[in-house]
Amino acid sequence: MNPFFFGRSERPLFGLYTQGRSDGASVATAARAVLLCYPVGSEYLRAHRAFRQLNLMLNRHGLNVLRFDYSCTGDSGGAGVEASLDEWLDDVDWAIDELMDTADVDEIDVVGLRWGAALAALGARERDEVRRLVLWDPVVTGRGYFDEVLPDGAPDGTVGIEGYPFSAELRAAMSTVDLTTDLADGRPLATSIVVADERPEHLALRDALRARGDEVSYDVVPSPGNWAEVDPFGDALIPQDIIRAIVDRLREER
């Protein structure tokens, strides 16, 4: 396990790189490498244990893995109120380069959860080095996301959502995201959509990507809990069946 900082000097990104393992022994490089893109806000905390489990399972199958915190989140540089969508997309770009350099590979796979899936999809559309994209319970539209987390609307200025600040500028930028149209001009990309329940926006995204010419697999893997809701006890979600499905998708073309 190798925690480190990378990216721009004025606002460094915190990353955690782990090497793939073969026959129980650590190897310097693996045939493949995977970038994991966290969700944002309170969903980042709820997903942390699930990402650790996914990371571990990928390593066990010989895959190198990098997970990282976006600017102004987690242990990366910057205050929460300074976060911006454009900078988060730049962070994904930095992370792709960092993983390829660290793992010494020419192409990678990218897995994103919720907003991490949206950022991964938007960040990967211009990167030829991305071989496969896995979208896990993706946020398809920013407007739909805020309708869920702010059902009564939001006042002007910075709003706290379950303890995490979202500035008016950040919310405005996130609200413009619609993967069904934003990805229309991107390059065709092998994509797996893995969801806990079937929703109209997930089907719309699947159909839009297929219309673009993507090779798209779509799996509904029922799982308890909801990333967008915090239960009374603050339990973390570790949906084992979905994690196994994602690992299987990434292993199938090795």
> What is the three-class DSSP state of 214?
coil
CA distance from start to end of the chain: 23
CATH code: domain of residue 94: 3.40.50.1820
pLDDT in tens, the chain (254 residues): 789 999 999 999 999 999 998 654 444 444 799 999 999 999 999 999 999 999 999 999 999 999 999 999 999 999 999 999 999 999 999 999 999 999 999 999 999 999 999 999 999 988 999 999 999 999 999 999 999 999 988 788 999 998 899 999 999 999 999 999 999 888 889 999 999 999 999 999 999 999 999 999 999 999 877 887 765 555 668 899 999 999 999 987 65
Rounded distance between C-alpha atoms, residue 167 and residue 156, angstroms: 9
Rg of the chain over Cα atoms, rounded to whole angstroms, equals 17
Rounded distance between C-alpha atoms, residue 19 and residue 32, angstroms: 10
Rounded distance between C-alpha atoms, residue 92 and residue 110, angstroms: 10
DSSP string, 166-206: E-HHHHHHHHT-BHHHHTTTSPP-EEEEEESS--HHHHHHH
Range of the domain at 196: 2-251
Number of structural domains (the chain) is 1
Q: Are 107 and 124 in contact (CB under 8 A)?
A: no
Burial of 234 (0-12, 13-18, 19+ CB in 10 A): exposed
Order of strands, sheet of 190-195, starting from the edge strand that comes earlier in the sequence? 2-6, 13-18, 63-68, 32-37, 108-113, 130-136, 190-195, 216-220
Q: Which long-range contacts (CB under 8 A, 24 or more apart) does 196-203 make?
A: 196/137, 196/220, 196/221, 196/222, 196/223, 196/225, 196/239, 196/242, 197/222, 201/140, 201/141, 201/144, 202/138, 202/140
